[in-house]
Amino acid sequence: MYHCCPGQIGPSVLDCDMADLAKEGKRALDAGASYLHLDVMDGHFVPNISFGPYVIECLRKHLPDVFFDCHMMTTHPENWVEKVAKAQGSKPGLLCYTFHYEATEPRGITQKVIDLIKANNMKVGLTLSPDTPVEALLKYGDQIDLALIMTVYPGKGGQSFIEEMMEKVRTIRAAYPDMDIEVDGGVKPKTVDMAAKAGANLIVSGSGVYKAEDMANNISIMQRSVEKYGLEIIATN
């Protein structure tokens, strides 16, 4: 087993100036971030409303070459696939539609949503809230491009990292050495080592980036952590 997935930092825009999203996105990218993690919240799946597909479409016009990971914290992720797909980038593979298992499996439509995302030329991301066991994701592991493990209960920024979630990351990394595994929630320079050691290669950070005193330094610390521990995982395997 090995893990050579590139380490990348994807800031969440929830903690930035949301009236100037394009500039804020660029600011983080210029400071060393590799992609943007866009949290869509509908006030029902989580108790907060953030923004919807049209905002992503607008942002895409300003940032045509950037990878967008669209994290859909919505009760009906199937409703937004086509709308989000309008935000395709300048070339294929720059858009990932990441939806919650908890929003689709009870209605028996997880497979349908995966198929719909692929039909709309986007990468498929599947995410689990903290209380959902990792087996839920493994069930669809062969079909997805990205696994997002929530390390807080989704809904609001600024929560504390839940260390117990690293067991899920380890399990997925062992089963899928080549998969992009992303963590989201309370990840900052202090907590990133745990995520990197467990095998995560994509790091989402909101306040850890946008509320940092030195944004570039924080991003660099997190990037180096993933590279260091990712390489160590290769060395020990």
Partner 1 sequence: MNSLVKSIIVLGGVSLQSVNAFTSISRSNVADISTTSLNVYGTPRKVQIIPSVLPADFGKLGADCKRLEEAGCDRVQFDVMDGNFVPNVTFGPETIRWCRKYTNMPFETQLMVSEKCTDAMLEEFVEVSKGPNGEPGVVIVHVEACTHLHRALGRIRAAGGSPSVALNPHTPAEMIENVLDLVDHVLVMTVNPGFGGQAYIPTMTEKIKKIRKWIVDRDLDVDIEVDGGIKATQETIGECAAAGANCFIAGSGLFAYDDLSEGVKELTDMALEAQGVAVGAK
Interaction site with partner 1 (CB under 8 A): 14, 17-23, 40-44, 47-55, 58-59, 61-62, 74-76, 79-80
| 39 noted as active-site residue | yes
CB of 68 to partner 1, least distance (A): 13
CB of 58 or CB of 174, closer to partner 1? 58
Was 17 annotated as part of a binding site? no
Was 108 annotated as part of a binding site? no
Catalytic residue among 15, 17, 39, 180: 39
- Give dist(CA 79, CA 169) in Å, integer: 29
Query: Which positions ≥6 away from 211 have C-beta within 8 Å?
Result: 15
CB of 47 or CB of 92, closer to partner 1? 47
CB of 212 to partner 1, least distance (A): 18
CB of 84 to partner 1, least distance (A): 10
CB of 14 or CB of 194, closer to partner 1? 14
Other CB atoms within a 10 A radius of the CB of residue 217 amount to 13
- Give dist(CA 170, CA 198) in Å, integer: 5
**Cβ contact 59:34 at 8 Å:** no
Query: Which positions ≥6 away from 131 have C-beta within 8 Å?
Result: none
| 180 noted as active-site residue | no
Helix or strand or coil: residue 6? Answer: coil
Active-site residue set: 39, 184
